[in-house]
Amino acid sequence: MPDETLPQPAREEMELVAVLRALGDPARLRLLAAYADGREHGCDQTYLGLEDLHKSTLSHHFRVLREAGVTTTRVAGRNRFVRLRRADLDARFPGLLDAILGGLSG
């Protein structure tokens, strides 16, 4: 069975309000910080520093980020791998990610 990508908005369909709403939650900001390295990540709560969240809550956060266009999720068998859509976000909303990530580190 080939890998599949879960539904997400195309770059031109991404809306600023949806992206900001998705990033308006502390847990999702922690996910953003983890994904900022540009690599693809599994959905391991411990690795992501979110062991305090229930699995269903974490799944909700993954979905909100994906549906807003912040991340992309690849499904391989029973595993899911998430990556930040940095190029799409930078093209659609120049400077937004840098400003948000800069605010998280400082």
Query: Is residue 36 very low, low, confident or very high in pLDDT (cuts 50, 70, 90)?
Result: very high
Q: Which amino acid is it at 87?
A: A
Specify the 3-state DSSP secondary structure of 52.
coil
- Tens digit of each residue's pLDDT (9 = 90 or more) over 49-78: 677 778 888 889 999 999 999 999 999 988
Of 75, 61, 70, 94, residue with least CA distance to 2: 75
Please give the Cα distance from 64 to 71 (Å, whole number): 9
Q: Which domains does the chain have, with CATH numbers?
A: 4-105 (1.10.10.10)
Strands ordered across the beta sheet of 4-5: 4-5, 71-76, 79-84, 41-42
Question: What is the residue-averaged pLDDT of the chain?
Answer: 89
Query: Is residue 81 very low, low, confident or very high in pLDDT (cuts 50, 70, 90)?
Result: very high
- Position 106 scores a pLDDT of 57
CA 58 to chain centroid = 11
Of 25, 24, 10, 1, residue with least CA distance to 78: 1
